[in-house]
Chains A and B, each alone.
Chain A
Amino acid sequence: MNVVETRGLTKSYRGKRAVDRLDLHVAQGDIYGFVGKNGAGKSTVMKMVCGLATPDEGEIELFGSRADECGRPEGAPRVGALIEAPGLVPNLSAYENLMAKALAMGVADAPARCRETLALVGLDGVGKKKAKGFSLGMKQRLGLALALVGSPDLLLLDEPLNGLDPEGTRAMRNLIVRLNQTLGVTVVISSHVLDQLDRVATRFGVIAEGRMVREMTSEQVQAECGDSLRVRTVDPARSLALMEEAFPQATLRALPDGSLSVTGDYDAAAVSRLLHDADQTVLELNPVRRDIEDYFVELMEGGARGAAGVVSGEEGGARHV
């Protein structure tokens, strides 16, 4: 079942489309990495999903029911969110901040639940220190704790790794995985720290200029972004034709410098043997590791060009896998 599904979601600010007919699919149990440049529309999408912003057009389904602005029905699955700033009351302590939210949500046995949540994010030792005196990392952790109040079934985290040191980043990452694996919380997480996102996400959505460029599983990302083989021969056209015929499962691309890139299901030794048997003069046969950031940037830029193409009347570049 899809926990979040949007269809044709559109939102404009002062005439400019921040989100443009976006379709998003988050399945139950996913850690969904939401990737996009600054201003791509990630936060706006998250705000619409959790009800902080109203879409101009389109539909949002949460847990199989259409979401509207009349509020969450009694007994419906809960949504926790950390979007943009953590939303702390500066003159209250961490515990008091959690209590304020727990009381607002009508959480039963609020004091005990708040203490548990503080321990979960590693803030149980801060005592009565006011939130305004917290470091950026502590504020982020308290923001996550606030999102966790009420035991949400869906967690929307917008740049939760911002301001965290390496230790804090690792702790946050582990916490997200633990919430997902032990409590079954579905997580949508946006981050610019793509290598960190790559370590936790089970599914990805790439957004550019308000449009969904592509949704894919982490396996697909690994396959496309993982090891590739760079092949340079005297006759690249003939080599490409030979490899297409011999390795139909592999993805083959002709690169601008005349070399060929082989990704997906291939065997380097078999490629070498094929080219040798076909009397192809091999100038280079080199395994290449592709950087995940380069991969996503390429996708985002491709998506942006596609969006520009649609605006100017060409065919769009978004596709779903």
Chain B
Amino acid sequence: MFNLLRSDVYRLVRGKMLWVGLSFLALVVVGAAGLVWFATTPEFAQMVSEQAQQKPPQSGMSVTITTPNNAGLDAEEVQVLNEKTLGSRTYSYGNTFMVGFLGLIVAVLAALLASSDFDTGFAKNVLAGRGNRRAYFAEKLVLIAALCGAFLLAGMLLSDAAYAVLGFSYERTETVAEYWSWAGLSWLVLTSYAFLAALIAWATRSKVAGVVFAALVPTGFLESMLLSAAAVLAPAMPLVGDAMQWLPLSVQQRLAAGGTGLFEAGASAAAGLSPAVQGLIVFGAITVACAALALTVCRRRDV
């Protein structure tokens, strides 16, 4: 398996896929940090202040700052936004790249990685001569998990660097345990989505199917629609509302709040569990199930 890993790393480093993915990540993190910085500039504050004092225009575009529950902000509250402070480092990761975007990148990469050997026929080269199929799939899973870790670390470093260069500070500092627990859980989230995408690519032998999955699920698109539908049904069917708390997107949104409340159950906790435990259960189950299916069902398919 170690030999297979060396071969894949050799191909990744010499191919475009890894570098395009990392460049894309850098672009998004720097772009997002730039937008946050712009929101703290006097020009932006003036735009918002003018808008707050005037009636909404009859036509054309306007800028409105709202809280997540869509409540409008007054000028004093907007002033607070001008301060270059962020909740915490993990909060900034969660809101800059972790929810949606990084899941999309690693899932697309995993789908391409899983299907490329079969598309090009390189899998035949490796597996001809009775190469161990279980070792082949296990190595791919290890590689995908390692890539998820590498992309997450790259995103964290880029985010720290970008906000430091732009002069931001943090209101709260997580403990080392909270910080790395958040990182570990985020890695698990990414790995589970990437494994799912790889599993779909292997099962269908189609990179398109894997990429479509990456576009719909890790981005939260599909689950957002489910949550909207559930919100309508929940008053009549409380069970649906409870079930929705276990959707990966719901758990991911709780993780996006950062590492400081990771081990606190809180009022909105599902079944009284902290986000860390809930994340471990949901994403751990997905990861283990995908790995088990890859090593049993996918392994048996002819190459």
Contacts and interface: CB of A to CB of B under 8 A. Distances in A.
Interface of A: 47, 50-54, 62, 67, 69-72, 78-81, 83-92, 96, 99-101, 103-106, 146-147, 150, 152, 156
A106 B128 contact: no
B211 to A, nearest CB: 18
A106 B124 contact: no
B122 A88 contact: yes
A69 B133 contact: yes
B14 interface: yes
Contacts of A87: 120-125
Interface stretch (B2-10, B143-151, B198-206, B265-273): B2-10
Contact of B122 (A84, A89, A106, A152): A89
A197 to B, nearest CB: 21
Given A51-B131, A88-B121, A104-B6, 16 more contacts: A50-B128, A52-B128, A71-B130, A71-B133, A78-B129, A79-B129, A79-B130, A81-B125, A81-B128, A81-B129, A101-B7, A103-B3, A103-B7, A105-B3, A105-B126, A147-B128
Interface in B1-27: 3-4, 6-7, 10-11, 14-16
A297 B15 CA distance: 46
Main secondary structure of the interface of A (DSSP, over half): loop
B161 interface: no
17 contacts: A50-B130, A52-B302, A53-B303, A54-B300, A54-B302, A67-B130, A69-B130, A71-B133, A84-B121, A84-B124, A86-B121, A87-B121, A89-B122, A92-B15, A100-B11, A104-B126, A146-B125
B130 A101 contact: no
Interface of B: 3-4, 6-7, 10-11, 14-16, 116, 120-135, 300, 302-303
A51 B10 contact: no
Shortest 10 CB-CB distances between A and B: which pairs? A71-B132, A87-B121, A79-B129, A104-B7, A51-B130, A81-B128, A103-B7, A106-B3, A53-B302, A52-B303
A101 B7 CA distance: 7
Contacts of A47: 302-303
Contact of B120 (A53, A71, A88, A103): A88
A56 to B, nearest CB: 11
Given A72-B132, A103-B3, A51 B11 contact: no
Given A47-B302, A89-B120, A100-B11, A80 B128 contact: yes
B132 to A, nearest CB: 3
A164 to B, nearest CB: 18
A223 to B, nearest CB: 35
A83 B128 contact: yes
Given A52-B302, A92-B11, A100-B7, A71 B131 contact: yes
Nearest to B127: A52
A160 to B, nearest CB: 14
A64 to B, nearest CB: 14
A87 B6 CA distance: 19
A84 B118 CA distance: 13
Given A54-B302, A92-B14, A70 B6 contact: no
A5 to B, nearest CB: 15
A212 B65 CA distance: 77
Contacts of B6: 103-104
Contacts of A52: 124, 127-128, 302-303
A70 B302 contact: no
A90 B11 CA distance: 11
Contacts of B135: 71
Contacts of A72: 129-132
Nearest to A46: B128
B224 to A, nearest CB: 36
A51 B126 contact: no
A47 B123 CA distance: 12
A152 B4 contact: no
A128 to B, nearest CB: 11
Nearest to B4: A104
Which residue of B10, B129, B133 has the most chain A CB atoms within 10 A of its CB atom?
Answer: B129
Contacts of B7: 100-101, 103-104
A100 B3 contact: no
B129 A152 contact: yes
A122 to B, nearest CB: 20
B294 to A, nearest CB: 16
A83 B124 contact: yes
A81 B302 CA distance: 15
A54 to B, nearest CB: 6
Nearest to B139: A104
A106 B3 CA distance: 6
B303 A70 contact: no
Contact of B14 (A90, A96, A105): A96
B10 A103 contact: yes
Contact of A91 (B15, B129, B130, B134): B15
B65 to A, nearest CB: 45
A274 B262 CA distance: 105
A62, A67, A83: which has the most chain B beta carbons within 10 Å? Answer: A83
Nearest to B116: A89
A85 B129 CA distance: 16
A47 B302 CA distance: 9
A88 to B, nearest CB: 6
A81 B16 CA distance: 28
Contacts of A85: 121, 124
